[in-house]
Chains A and B, each alone.
Chain A
Amino acid sequence: KQEVTQIPAALSVPEGENLVLNCSFTDSAIYNLQWFRQDPGKGLTSLLLIQSSQREQTSGRLNASLDKSSGRSTLYIAASQPGDSATYLCAAHSSASKIIFGSGTRLSIRP
């Protein structure tokens, strides 16, 4: 059974810092790893999707990496801004499109 873990549960950093969010999964037989952002009281917004054959994906200030052999993914945010404050969730896609989520990292960027 796939389990997805995100550490830390919460993170607070000053504006402008680069930061890394971590995600680990127990079953390396995944198809994709997807990162989402969730603002309070809102739905989930897809940030990046890394296919199992890829090692990383980039979008603007975001870079996500995937290491299937070690069961880890990281989301790197460069030059953080207060608008980046949100909960970030990673999700592992198993066979037949089953998507399992981690519990999220609540990120706060201090002005």
Chain B
Amino acid sequence: DARVTQTPRHKVTEMGQEVTMRCQPILGHNTVFWYRQTMMQGLELLAYFRNRAPLDDSGMPKDRFSAEMPDATLATLKIQPSEPRDSAVYFCASGLPRGVNTEAFFGQGTRLTVV
């Protein structure tokens, strides 16, 4: 059963601490997305990668957020230092472009609470 796997599912941390979220895309998918979901803003695109290279990270606050793909099976989103306003659900999605079409498949998300 191919699916996107995110860890941890839940994270509670104190303000100022570093948070690392991990995502394992579906095997063979070469496009990875990071989204943040809040009640106020809905789903916001933070960054996305193609073949491990970042294509667009304009939605991500650069001063504290960083996203990487150390290899094709792992994507990470790091927040340092974390702030209460970062509390949200962070989703990872992966896809495999076929021509100009990329169907995105989502993980279950990481629910982050910064206190």
Interface residues in chain A, defined as those with a beta carbon under 8 Å from any beta carbon in chain B? 31-32, 34, 36, 42-46, 49, 51-52, 89, 91, 93, 96-104
Nearest-Cβ distance from residue B78 to partner chain A, whole angstroms:
21
Residues A46 and B56 in contact, CB atoms below 8 Å apart: no
Q: Which of B83-109 contact A (CB under 8 A)?
A: 91, 93, 95, 97, 100-109
A96 — which chain B residues lie within 8 A by C-beta? Answer: 50, 55-56
A103 — which chain B residues lie within 8 A by C-beta? Answer: 42
Residues A32 and B102 in contact, CB atoms below 8 Å apart: yes
A89 — which chain B residues lie within 8 A by C-beta? Answer: 43
Q: For the complex, count residues of B whose C-beta is within 8 A of A.
A: 24
Interface residues in chain B, defined as those with a beta carbon under 8 Å from any beta carbon in chain A? 31, 33, 35, 42-43, 45, 48, 50, 55-56, 91, 93, 95, 97, 100-109
A99 is contacted by which of B42, B104, B109 (Cβ under 8 Å)?
B104
- Residue pairs across A and B with CB atoms within 8 Å: the count is 61
CA of A103 to CA of B42 in the docked complex: distance in angstroms? 5
Residues A99 and B106 in contact, CB atoms below 8 Å apart: no
Residues A51 and B101 in contact, CB atoms below 8 Å apart: yes
CA of A110 to CA of B19 in the docked complex: distance in angstroms? 41
Residues B43 and A98 in contact, CB atoms below 8 Å apart: no
Residue of A nearest to B44 (CB): A101
